[in-house]
Amino acid sequence: MSPMRDVDHMNDFQLADPVPVQLLREDGTLSEHPQFSSYVEDLEDEVLRELYRHMVVERRFDAEATSLQRQGQLALWVPALGQEAAQIGVIAALRSSDRVFPTYREHAMALYRGISPEELMGTFRATRHSGWDPHTYDFNGYSVVLATQTLHAAGWAMGITQDVATGSLPEGRAADEVVLACLGDGATSQGDAHESMVFASSYQLPVLYFIQNNHWAISVPQKTQSRTPLAHRAAGYGFEGIRVDGNDVLATYAVSRYMTEQIRAGGGPKLVEAVTYRMGAHTTADDPTKYRSREELEEWKSRDPISRYRSWLLTGSKVDQEYVDQVDQEAADLASDLRTAVLAMEPMDLERVFDTVYAEPHRQVEVEKSWLKDYEAGFAEEVDHE
Amino acid sequence: MSSGISDAKAATTPQEDSVPAVTTLPLAKAINRALSDELAAEPKTLLMGEDIGALGGVFRVTDGLQARFGTDRVIDSPLAESGIIGTCIGLAMRGYRPVAEIQFDGFVFPAFNQITTQLAKIHNRTDGAVTVPVTIRLPYGGHIGSIEHHSESPEALFAHTAGLRILAPSSPHDAYWMTRQAIASADPVIVLEPKRRYWLKGEVDLQNPAPDAFTAQVLREGTEATLATYGPLVPVALAAAEVAADQGRSVEVVDVRSISPLDDETIARSAAKTQRLVVAHEAPTFGGFGAEIAARVSERAYHRLAAPVLRVGGFHMPYPPSGQEHRYLPNIDRMLEALERSFAYATAGGR
């Protein structure tokens, strides 16, 4: 065979349409999409309401967290304001047993999975590095060194294929599990994101890459990360990528459902680029007025994911004002619970940190832990003597 | 997860039962045997690395393993070290016990981020909820006449990272058992394989485990000075002690074996007995791991020492072109010179 014809094993995908898939227009009216409308047409009202409820609750939660940080109760907060539809759209399209590998901004997804406000806030009150057991929620701890988590996702997916191949699926795990690898526009520039997509493609792993393109990596605009739509990158690795309006919860849900169906059927990895916008600061330590214009922010406010969806729900009588008020009340209650929980949160003991450096005993850790105990006991004795 | 080590007998196939319990193997073959026995004993053990399948690795350490255990368990990876370690972490989260091969010491740095910010920290970060029992096999050290990036000793960079265990076996028997103990550990373990000793033959007792991998061992008893080292320099230290004996000096040799945790007690006990300590490694002495040993022994045995702890190691330079490595690497003469300097301090009782 001529080397030039050595293409049998190669996948050939068309570049994604640079115009994002949209089902719900910015004015709150529904549009027809030949491929994706069918994924939302038959959704029960209860499902539609849940999408709304989760978005609203997270936004209120997010605002309360920002306020708590301003009041000195959190070391840092990372607002997800504006990205509610992208996050809820994809997480609702997954099964609860599909493993999620988040960055550090996936609060809507985390709450959706049942992670409590207190568990979520351990990271941000700096009382612990990560506040929940990833195995309980099939939701990994937040990843702060960006894109590292995309390789863990690929490795987890290798474990799925290995389990299936050897007939050793653990109890409660599905053979057609999908792994969600979250990343943002900034993280796509990291080498680990590239390596993860290479591994996922080479071994045809069941990974859905979900890029929330929120346009800003702290102060650096997306054009510095990529001169092509990020969804186009998938074709370079030999799998399908789709751009979706990440402020349209219905479109994000529909595209994610389509992609997960392909993956579950053995179609290998897929990529969704959710085009959205970080309406808040990068973190509470950031000042976005230094690098982006008021006009840009206003423009994106007009594409707000929640008001657009609420308008459609109300117009179509999927919900009434009473329901909207009820959700607002639930959100306010959660914010109140968050405040109470945060104020009561104490840092984990340093002893506990010593105890978890290793899973098995380590001489130096034991000696230092013992030394600290004696050292601090010395102070206690001095106090006693006084 | 079963340790594997206790299943050593079960691991041997009928075919291998014909192999005597004590057999002479080159160090590389001893590691091969350890990997083979772990793969046989524990279905969750996987190997991953570049060229480890059909080729058997550039040093043939994994020779024959893919043919025996299949491409799903002996995985040829893309050429991406961060990818190897990062996916091993994901596999470990799901219950696997991956063993990664990094082809050469100098190629570990693309994976440095995954090793130090992720692998080392995940158990701690998750308050013990997630264990990541990844073993990283890292052929290391010089004296093989190679080109840049193929002869380095990066142990201090990893020793400084809490959460990692680091082993440095020096003989085939230790390499066999320490590799098995590394894979059986619930923690991440880096096994520094002394690549210039891959062809060093020695007896491997497949039935009687070596001493605990995370301890130092006295290899040669002596009374007047202690020479502590690990990995590829252990045979050099033993030879230096032999020459010293010919010159009328009794030198004790300690094989450090474990960088993290460090069995400083065994080393300090030896130094307290002989009153003198020289530490040797191939890595540069400046900021090197020998400094850690020197400091710890000084604290523990200060009043018993007749001389400061002295170090023998590489220079504060990138590893040189290998045409000059004979001048860079510690050898018998450099160890003897350091011992002489130690002896030059006031004798016994010192202080």
Where are chain A's structural domains?
A: 15-285+292-348, 349-386
For testing contact with chain A, the best of B76, B126, B190 (most A CBs within 10 A): B126
Helix axis angle for A148-166 and B81-93, nearest 10°, is: 60
Can you tell me the distance from the alpha carbon of A90 to that of A349, in angstroms, rounded to the nearest whole number? 37
Lowest mean pLDDT among A11-25, A58-72, B133-147, B244-258: A11-25
> What pLDDT does A5 receive?
58
> What pLDDT does B13 receive?
45
Tell me which long-range contacts B323-331 makes (C-beta under 8 A, separation of at least 24).
Answer: B325/B142, B325/B143, B325/B145, B325/B151, B328/B142, B329/B142, B329/B143, B329/B282, B330/B233, B330/B236, B330/B280, B330/B281, B330/B282, B331/B236
User: Any idea which fold A15-285+292-348 has?
Assistant: Rossmann fold (3.40.50)
Q: Which residues from B are below 8 Å from A353, CB to CB?
A: 124
> What pLDDT does A14 receive?
83
Mean per-residue pLDDT, B143-162 = 97
Question: pLDDT (tens digit, 9 = 90+) per residue, B41-58?
Answer: 999 999 999 999 999 999
Whether residue B326 lies in the annotated active site: no
Query: Are B188 and B13 in contact, with CB atoms under 8 Å apart?
Result: no
Kindly report the number of other CB atoms within 10 A of residue A153's CB atom.
Answer: 33
B261 and A154 within 8 Å at the Cβ level: the answer is no
Tokens for A49? 């309401």
Q: Which residues from B are below 8 Å from A100, CB to CB?
A: none
A156 and B91 within 8 Å at the Cβ level: the answer is yes
Mean per-residue pLDDT, B119-144 = 98
Query: Are B8 and B41 in contact, with CB atoms under 8 Å apart?
Result: yes
Share of chain B above pLDDT 90, in %: 93
Tell me which long-range contacts A28-34 makes (C-beta under 8 A, separation of at least 24).
Answer: A28/A307, A28/A308, A28/A309, A28/A310, A28/A311, A28/A312, A28/A315, A29/A312, A30/A250, A30/A312, A33/A251, A33/A254
Shortest CB distance from B263 goes to which of A133, A160, A363? Answer: A363
Q: Which residues from B are below 8 Å from A138, CB to CB?
A: none
Shortest CB distance from B125 goes to which of A130, A198, A364? Answer: A130
Q: Is the peptide bond before B320 cis (omega within 30 degrees of 0)?
A: no
A162 and B90 within 8 Å at the Cβ level: the answer is no
Q: Which residues from A are below 8 Å from B186, CB to CB?
A: 359-360
Query: Are A107 and A69 in contact, with CB atoms under 8 Å apart?
Result: no
Shortest CB distance from A155 goes to which of B91, B131, B185? Answer: B91
CA torsion angle for B235, B241, B247, B251 (degrees, to 10)? 180
Whether ipTM > 0.90 holds is: yes
Cα A200 to Cα A6, A22, B150, B180, distances in angstroms: 21, 27, 29, 30
Kindly report the number of other CB atoms within 10 A of residue A384's CB atom.
Answer: 7
B117 and A145 within 8 Å at the Cβ level: the answer is yes
Give the nearest chain A residue to B127 (CA atoms).
Answer: A356
Burial class (CB in 10 A: 0-12, 13-18, 19+), A46: exposed
pLDDT for residue B1 is more than 60: no
Answer CATH for B217-346 from 3.40.50.1000, 3.40.50.920, 3.40.1110.10, 3.40.50.2300: 3.40.50.920
B86 and A166 within 8 Å at the Cβ level: the answer is no
A359 and B118 within 8 Å at the Cβ level: the answer is no
Q: Which residues of chain A have pLDDT under 50?
A: 1
Can you tell me the distance from the alpha carbon of B64 to that of B40, in angstroms, rounded to the nearest whole number? 13
How far is the alpha carbon of B126 from chain A, nearest alpha carbon, in Å? 6
How far is the alpha carbon of A189 from chain B, nearest alpha carbon, in Å? 15
- In chain B, the N- to C-terminal Cα span, in Å, equals 52
How many Cβ pairs within 8 Å bridge chains A and B?
A: 149
What stretch of H or E contains A194?
Answer: helix A191-202
> What pLDDT does B19 receive?
67
pLDDT for residue B64 is more than 60: yes
Per the document, the length of chain B is 351
Query: Are A309 and A24 in contact, with CB atoms under 8 Å apart?
Result: yes
Can you tell me the distance from the alpha carbon of A16 to that of A14, in angstroms, rounded to the nearest whole number? 6
**CA atoms within 13 A of residue B11's CA, in its CB half-sphere:** 23
What stretch of H or E contains A297?
Answer: helix A294-301
Q: Which residues from B are below 8 Å from A130, CB to CB?
A: 125-127
Give phi and psi for A376, each to the nearest 5: -75, -30
> What pLDDT does B14 receive?
42
Q: What is the radius of gyration, based on Cα positions, of chain B?
A: 20
What stretch of H or E contains A89?
Answer: helix A84-93
Can you tell me the distance from the alpha carbon of B32 to that of B44, in angstroms, rounded to the nearest whole number? 18
Q: Which residues from A are below 8 Å from B3, CB to CB?
A: none
How far is the alpha carbon of A161 from chain B, nearest alpha carbon, in Å? 9
Query: Are A152 and B83 in contact, with CB atoms under 8 Å apart?
Result: no
Give the nearest chain A residue to B77 (CA atoms).
Answer: A199
Query: Are A251 and A61 in contact, with CB atoms under 8 Å apart?
Result: no
How far is the alpha carbon of B314 from chain A, nearest alpha carbon, in Å? 26
Three-state DSSP class for residue A245: strand
3-state secondary structure chain B: CCCCHHHHHHHCCHHHHCCCCEEEEEHHHHHHHHHHHHHHHCCCEEEEECCCCCCCCCCCCCCCHHHHHCCCCEEECCCCHHHHHHHHHHHHHCCCEEEEECCCHHHCHHHHHHHHHHHCCHHHHCCCCCCCCCEEEEEECCCCCCCCCCCCCCHHHHHCCCCCEEECCCCHHHHHHHHHHHHHCCCCEEEEEEHHHCCCEEEEECCCCCCCCCCCEEEECCCCEEEEECHHHHHHHHHHHHHHHHCCCCEEEEECCEEECCCHHHHHHHHHHHCCEEEEEEEECCCCHHHHHHHHHHHHHHHHCCCCCEEEEECCCCCCCHHHHHHHCCCHHHHHHHHHHHHHCCCCCCC
Q: What is the radius of gyration, based on Cα positions, of chain A?
A: 23
DSSP one-letter code for A44: -
A364 and B262 within 8 Å at the Cβ level: the answer is yes
B80 and A195 within 8 Å at the Cβ level: the answer is yes
What stretch of H or E contains A211?
Answer: strand A207-213
Query: Are A103 and A324 in contact, with CB atoms under 8 Å apart?
Result: no
How far is the alpha carbon of B128 from chain A, nearest alpha carbon, in Å? 5
Mean per-residue pLDDT, B108-128 = 98
For tokens 């490795």, the residue is A155
Greater model confidence, A283 or B241: B241
A170 and B262 within 8 Å at the Cβ level: the answer is no
If one looks up domain B15-205 in CATH, what number appears?
3.40.50.970
User: If contacts are CB pairs under 8 Å, which of residues 9-38 in chain B contact chain A?
Assistant: none
For tokens 């190669």, the residue is A10
For tokens 């596999």, the residue is B91
B86 and A151 within 8 Å at the Cβ level: the answer is yes
Query: Are A148 and B110 in contact, with CB atoms under 8 Å apart?
Result: no
Nearest to A276 by CA among A228, A239, A233, A243: A243
For tokens 């973190």, the residue is A283
> What pLDDT does B9 receive?
41
Angle at B282 between CA B278 and CA B343, to 5 degrees: 20
Kindly report the number of other CB atoms within 10 A of residue A33's CB atom.
Answer: 17
Where are chain B's structural domains?
A: 15-205, 217-346
Angle at A77 between CA A207 and CA A111, to 5 degrees: 50
What residues have CB less than 8 Å from A25, skipping those under 6 apart? A31, A308
Can you tell me the distance from the alpha carbon of A264 to that of B242, in angstroms, rounded to the nearest whole number? 65
Catalytic residue among B150, B173, B303, B326: B150
What residues have CB less than 8 Å from B62, skipping those under 6 apart? B32, B35, B47, B49, B52, B53, B56, B74, B101
B165 and A358 within 8 Å at the Cβ level: the answer is yes
How far is the alpha carbon of B4 from chain A, nearest alpha carbon, in Å? 16
The answer, for B162 touching chain A at a CB cutoff of 8 Å, is yes
Per the document, the length of chain A is 386
The answer, for B159 touching chain A at a CB cutoff of 8 Å, is no
> What pLDDT does A180 receive?
98
